Amino acid sequence: MTPPGTHALQVPDDAGTQRVDRYVADVTGLSRSHVQKLISLGHLTSDGLPLKANTVIGPGTALQLVVPEPEKLDLAPAPEIPVIVIYEDEDLLIVDKPAGLVVHPSAGHSGGTLVNALLAHGDADTFGGIAGVQRPGIVHRLDRDTSGLLMVARTDAAQHSLMAQLKARRVKKTYLALVFGEVSAEVGRIEAPIGRDPRHRTKMGVVPDGRASTTGYRVKQRFSGWTLLELDLVTGRTHQIRVHLEAIGHPVAGDPVYGTGTSRKGPRAVGGAAPLARLFLHAWRLQLTSPTGGQLIRAEAPLPVELEAVLETLRVGGSAALSSAEGRR
């Protein structure tokens, strides 16, 4: 871990060229977003000159990084927001985040976030701080409209370990999504680069110069006009599952950004059932290694009742609700 102070860093002679923000994040254990903030404040220099986050550095480059003392956390606890804890030990919490809840404060969301709720269960020192003052304990994120499992680190060491596991793709994250249409293959893998959509800058898209992105999927259950998928998030790009599924013609039900027409509305409600009022995407399972004990940790969060109700409507509505295994018998 990298404590507050001034730190001299030097790129090894056998290293390749790379962006300076990525290099500093790798060697210090600080999150890349935190490193980028330090760079924007002029705290990373080479030969006395401040660098930009996208500066490319090579072997032998000498760097000086200033890590200031932590800022005082100015976030109000929100005890009125429930925190559903699925797993807990001395290193971490795994919580079940509801749809509609933002993970951490940002522009436009200064309060009412999961972080505010967590602070009602302990002070700022209860959680790891290497992701920055606005993100105590946060290791990864879920979109506001996505529900499900999220890891929260209780110490800097645990936060560093979990971030390293994510970067090395040793955390297995499995999602459930109801998608528009009947997916033909029982098992598939989507490999398509994701970046900012050049036509709609508020959206992501599959673009030639995007970052390499991989999503695996398996058919879990089939319905007339809809398919329930299990999805393995191999990489973790912004809106990755939503973008990849839209790209293959099967957008996620209830997606207001990447869906259109029927897919955006979701399955037709019948028999007085409530229509789908949110994105049908749920972070269902997590598998990781304990930061200190080394044992395997598995956690699962059942589908929220509003999503289970949609599936029940499809079943009762006379759809062919065959699981992928049953459909092959």
Catalytically active residues are: 143
For 150-207, the DSSP string reads: EEEESSHHHHHHHHHHHHTT-SEEEEEEEEES----SEEEEE--EEE-SS-TTSEEE-
CB 73 within 8 A of CB 128: no
Report whether 86 contacts 95 (CB < 8 A). Answer: yes
Cβ-contact 170, 227 below 8 angstroms: no
The amino acid occupying position 273 is A
Tokens standing for residue 274: 């409530």
Task: Give, for 119, the enclosing helix (H) or strand (E).
Answer: helix 114-119
Please name the helix (run of DSSP H) or strand (run of DSSP E) that holds residue 314, with its range, or none: helix 305-316
Query: What's the CA dihedral at 286, 290, 296, 300 to 10 degrees?
Result: -30
| Residues 6 or more apart in contact with residue 184 via CB below 8 angstroms | none
CA dist 255 and 298 (Å) reads 28
Contact 304, 98 (CB under 8 A): yes
CB 217 within 8 A of CB 229: yes
